Amino acid sequence: MAIPTFTFDAVIIGAGGAGMRAALALAKSGYNTALVSKVFPTRSHTVSAQGGITCAIGNAHEDDWRWHMYDTVKGSDFIGDQDCIEYMCKTGPECVYELEHMGLPFSRTDDGKIYQRPFGGQSRNFGGEQAARTCAAADRTGHALLHTLYQQNLQANTHVFSEWYAIDLVKASHGKGFAGVTVMNIETGEVAFMHARAIVFATGGAGRIFQSTTNALINTGDGIGIALRAGLPVQDMEMWQFHPTGIAGAGTLVTEGCRGEGGYLINKDGERFMERYAPHAKDLASRDVVSRAMALEIRAGNGFETKGVQHVKLNLVHLGADLIKSRLPGIRELSMTFAGVDPIIEPIPVVPTCHYMMGGIPTNVHGEVLTVDADGTERSVEGLYAAGECACVSVHGANRLGGNSLLDLVVFGRAAGLHVEDQLQEHLPLHPVSDDDIEAATGRLRRWQDNKDGESVSDIKAEMQKVMQEDFGVFRTAEYMASGVEKIKGLRERLQHAVLTDHSKVFNTARIEALELDNLMEVAAATAFAADFRTESRGAHSREDFPKRDDENWLVHSLYFAEGDRLSTRGVNMKPKTMDPFEPVERVY
Amino acid sequence: MTEETQKIHFKIYRYNPETDKAPVMKDYYLEVPKATDMMLLSALIQLKAQDETIAFRRSCREGVCGSDGMNINGRNGLACITTLSSLKQPIVIRPLPGFPVVRDLVVDMEQFYRQYEKIKPYLQNDEPAPAKERLQSPKDRKKLDGLYECILCACCSSSCPSFWWNPDKFIGPAGLLQAYRFIVDSRDNQTTERLKDLEDPFSVFRCRGIMNCVDVCPKGLNPTKAIGKIRSQLLKEGT
């Protein structure tokens, strides 16, 4: 089967913040770049980010990127790579000023500077008083950022393949590295091969492995699935952030900025319970800490119940109508739509909700994908990059701080773009490719075309989401996880026989959902195996049978390879370039 | 159907160009719990689990990505923030009017995006950028409120008769809202050029003040007001 071939210097898969920032860097370089996205770029999930982008530009008070770095390392529960965190925090201000120059409509201070608000886990002077470090465009920062980057890409004439879906990586015929990626035009069903010297994954998260998530329906871990099928490892996949404030029942996000602006959580007695769990930071403790406290309150019978859903409440009433309307207008809109509650008048029902994948495709500080050979040698994969939520640089370690996700996107989207440009200038070749290898990278399509008798995509997806929700949630134990692993293995096998009934070509969304489920299942399996593997509690990974952090054995990243569900570990980088490292200490807020 | 559930009746526009000569309105029924309300998008997702051939776009499911604009009981809106309880049955769902239909509820939005691109929707400032941010007073920043929040769902342009008549020449409400967003941004210094690009008889002046755009905008924005401001600036510059 000969399929059309497009040839590019670089192909970027995914048009959220990371993909569009990388594309922008490359478009300006003059290299022939394709930006492939399964949705029109401004429909990407970055659009849903609310509270802001964190960096030490010091508009609210004296600030220092090293203080930001300290908070991020501590937030990561010490398995964030310190060389990468250093790079992110240090480069952050430059990247944020760039966004402002591009036109991002930041909110402003009285003297006309970018407005910054307090967020969780932020401190001044290495653990001192609360900082205000998150740059915001009201509570629509992601929307403002994504649209700004799309607009810049329009101006730069980036070649956008909108509503094209990436299927799989194609091996180079000489056996080393990758020659490109197979893609499908969703509108026509046409399959093509994109032959490229460099490939950047920017496919975002995969929160849809859980029943209840703040994530968009499109967050199906496509890049993770593709990487695993190509024999590459994924890192720290047990680390999933549960955001404290998803609207109960609906799962939609309520920004941490609400608590940054002075909001607080209450239980059914009206008690501000975070004072008991985090006496110093209270409601602005790290997300893992707040989510666990909420889960414990609900478990102790201190929650509210609405239509069968247990929850606590987020009180903003005391902030007053003016502040809510000017700083949190989007939250008011979402709360009224999805909870039927106007936060000016009454508190919002909230519950910890799956929000962010700290794990992902391991990369170095340039966004180059890392792998480990059979003999244990670690190396980067030439020409292959990952940035944003699908990547694990790792700047978030075991727990991401609020506002660090948008920063990660622009810093490492840009870094990947710049490094690709550099490598294209140097030597990156267009690898030779065989028809057989292209054919192999469309195997999934044929399976879905040929299967005649089996279960439906929606049934298997629902069952997978239930297993992940019940056995790999906020609290985890060996017993549940072992049974969860078995269930996921069973579902993974059943998925191989599942059927698609719609085989039409034009805008066949059922086919896309089937292909997405292949990826979700890879992510679920990686998560389940990695969670069972790590026998300690750290950051978002909280085990009732191993309640303590175990630095002696687990101050490491986990690695998972799909082949044989193999697990291993790799060291955490403790060598920042310009300063002494932060040594692990007990993490209190 | 039990005491706790009710049956909801939908009529959905179905058209697959590979197999259908003409579109049909097909009946669908969904049993939903009486006690809880549900967004139309959730209902469509459940219907798709019954009949996976129904095609529609969706992404964020919270009204910020603009994917699922459709015509719901004769009015454009986003399925993800429209409750079933707010809709009379049968709930009639059609693709956004005025655009070529690709399949079912999926329309070809090329023309809409081209009009958006025409207004040069990016900040232009030919002075060198400072080392830090360009300053902007809270008062100047406030002028962008009600403009920058557009999600490009096309509910407005697709409900605008002037856009239906001249989709190639009239920018349409969404594009003009963004045109004004850049005209009024204190950091953009190409206002004169921007206005010049709009002074022909069609780009702005085809707006007849019908205000369907204001009526349907799911984000509560007011394109007509922005168009009015562009017009008065054009007239002022012209005299």
CA dihedral sign, ordered A131, A353, A150, B113:
negative
Residue B225 has pLDDT above 90, yes or no: yes
Cβ within 8 Å, pair B137-A338: no
- Asked about A538 being catalytic, the answer comes back as no
Give yes or no for A183 touching B (CB within 8 A): no
Instruction: Give the mean model confidence (pLDDT) for residues B120-138.
Output: 97
- Per-residue model confidence as pLDDT tens digits over A250-264: 999 999 999 999 999
Mean pLDDT of all residues in chain A?
Answer: 96
pLDDT category of residue B4 using cuts at 50, 70 and 90: confident
> Phi and psi of A349, rounded to 5°?
-70, 125
Which parts of A284-377 are beta strand (E)?
304-306, 309-315, 348-357, 361-362, 368-372
Indicate the DSSP class of residue A158. -
Give yes or no for A101 touching B (CB within 8 A): yes
What pLDDT sits at residue B237?
78
First to last CA, chain B: 69
Residue A514 has pLDDT above 80, yes or no: yes
What pLDDT sits at residue B239?
52
Please check whether residue B77 is in contact with residue B216, taking contact to mean a CB–CB distance below 8 angstroms: yes
Instruction: Give the mean model confidence (pLDDT) for residues A408-416.
Output: 98
Across the interface, which of A140, A218, A333 has its CB nearest the CB of B59?
A218
Cα A387 to Cα A376: distance, rounded to the nearest angstrom: 24
Contacts of B136 in chain A (CB under 8 A): 108, 112
Contacts of A154 in chain B (CB under 8 A): 117, 121-122
What pLDDT sits at residue A1?
54
pTM over 0.90: yes
Instruction: Give the mean model confidence (pLDDT) for residues A71-88.
Output: 98
Cβ within 8 Å, pair B122-A505: no
Instruction: Give the mean model confidence (pLDDT) for residues B38-56.
Output: 97
- Per-residue model confidence as pLDDT tens digits over A123-146: 999 999 999 999 999 999 999 999
Instruction: Give the mean model confidence (pLDDT) for residues A56-74.
Output: 98
How many percent of chain B have pLDDT more than 90?
A: 94
Give yes or no for A188 touching B (CB within 8 A): no
Cβ within 8 Å, pair B121-A107: no
Instruction: Give the mean model confidence (pLDDT) for residues B154-160.
Output: 98
- Per-residue model confidence as pLDDT tens digits over A301-357: 999 998 888 999 999 999 999 999 999 999 999 999 999 999 999 999 999 999 999
Contacts of A102 in chain B (CB under 8 A): 122-123
CA distance to partner chain A, nearest, from residue B77 (Å):
14
Region label for A233, one of left (φ > 0), alpha (ψ between -120 and 50) or beta (otherwise): beta
What pLDDT sits at residue B3?
72
pLDDT category of residue A174 using cuts at 50, 70 and 90: confident
Restricting to B residues 68-127, those with a Cβ less than 8 Å away from any Cβ of A are 81, 102-104, 106, 109, 113, 117, 120-123, 125
How many percent of chain A have pLDDT more than 70?
A: 100
Give yes or no for B144 touching A (CB within 8 A): yes
- Per-residue model confidence as pLDDT tens digits over A190-243: 999 999 999 999 999 999 999 999 999 999 999 999 999 999 999 999 999 999
pLDDT category of residue A176 using cuts at 50, 70 and 90: confident
Q: In what helix (H) or strand (E) does residue A166 lie, and over which residues does it extend? A: strand A164-171
- Per-residue model confidence as pLDDT tens digits over A81-128: 999 999 999 999 999 999 999 999 999 999 999 999 999 999 999 999
What pLDDT sits at residue A273?
98
Token reading at A416 = 């990947």
- Per-residue model confidence as pLDDT tens digits over A267-291: 999 999 999 999 999 999 999 999 9
Cα A422 to Cα A377: distance, rounded to the nearest angstrom: 25
Contacts of B135 in chain A (CB under 8 A): 111-113
Contacts of B152 in chain A (CB under 8 A): 40, 42
Among A39, A501, A506, the strongest candidate for a mutation testing the B interface, having the largest count of B CBs within 10 A, is A506
Cα A151 to Cα B116: distance, rounded to the nearest angstrom: 10
CA distance to partner chain B, nearest, from residue A585 (Å):
35
A244 or B4, greater pLDDT: A244
Cβ within 8 Å, pair A507-B102: yes
Cβ within 8 Å, pair B64-A143: yes
What pLDDT sits at residue A581?
98
Contacts of B63 in chain A (CB under 8 A): 333-334, 337
Residue A487 has pLDDT above 90, yes or no: yes
The DSSP-derived string for chain B is --SSEEEEEEEEEE--TTT-SS-EEEEEEEEEESSS--BHHHHHHHHHHH-TT-----SSSSSSS---EEEETTEEEEGGG-BGGGSPSSEEEEPPTTS-EEETTEE--HHHHHHHHHT--S----SPPPSSPPP--HHHHHTTTTTTT-----TTGGG-HHHHH-TTT--HHHHHHHHHHHHS-TT---HHHHHHHT-STTTTTT-----HHHHH-TT---HHHHHHHHHHHHHHHH-
Burial of A455 (0-12, 13-18, 19+ CB in 10 A): middle
